[in-house]
Amino acid sequence: MSLLPLVILASNAAPAAAETLLPQGNFRTECLQIGKDGRHGLIAEISIEGDTISASAQTYAHNNCDVPTVRADYRGIVTSARETGNRIDFTQETGPFLYTLLADDVTTYYNANVDSAGCGLDGWQTGVPRDAAGRTCAPYTFPPIGTELKDSVWVNQNGIEFGRLPLVWDSAPDAGYPERSSSILFTRMAD
């Protein structure tokens, strides 16, 4: 009896390392204070399903996360993952960064400040997403689609913490994996 069919079945059935190492599920931060003197708020969500990372970051007018102003949505593909001590180092290939303005006053500001806040794009409309991949939307610089990003994730009894996500997207290609977490806790959401 030939072992070839068993070898083929085994190779097709084995999940990729990235799929099995990263914690699976949906995670969310508390309201984080961001911006000058912590005047704005941000809530980030991460969903990890197999080798796909979907993330969203909702920015708010005030640091109590009351009035939504900007939303960024992202999807990337994990291409490798490995355990390193107390963390999991992973590499992802970036997809689009969809940026949606949610308040008319913010839309007016982005259109008046195209080169700084406006991501180098004009013609913003409230509620209409735009792909900001490869652009700087102050204060964030988003990599072009297909960029390889390195990050690390720490898993603990309270949830997960990344080294770079959700605030740092412009790591240099030769940058290593983060050795410390950002201390931004994502807690598991009910599925």
Q: Are 97 and 74 in contact (CB under 8 A)?
A: yes
Give me 84's structure tokens.
């390193």
Which range marks the domain in which residue 85 is found?
A: 16-188
Our CA dihedral for 44, 70, 127, 170, rounded to 10 degrees, sits at -80
On whether residue 8 sits in a domain, the answer given is: no
pLDDT per residue as tens digits for the range 129-159: 999 999 988 788 889 999 999 999 999 988 9
On whether residue 76 sits in a domain, the answer given is: yes
On whether residue 161 sits in a domain, the answer given is: yes
pLDDT per residue as tens digits for the range 49-76: 999 999 999 999 999 999 999 999 999 9
Give the integer Cα–Cα distance in Å for 2 and 125: 63
Distances in Å between the Cα of 78 and the Cα atoms of 74, 81, 87, 147 are 13, 7, 16, 12
On whether residue 158 sits in a domain, the answer given is: yes
- pLDDT at residue 167 in the model: 78
On whether residue 108 sits in a domain, the answer given is: yes
The answer to whether residue 83 scores a pLDDT higher than 60 is: yes
Number of domains in the chain: 1
On whether residue 25 sits in a domain, the answer given is: yes
On whether residue 37 sits in a domain, the answer given is: yes
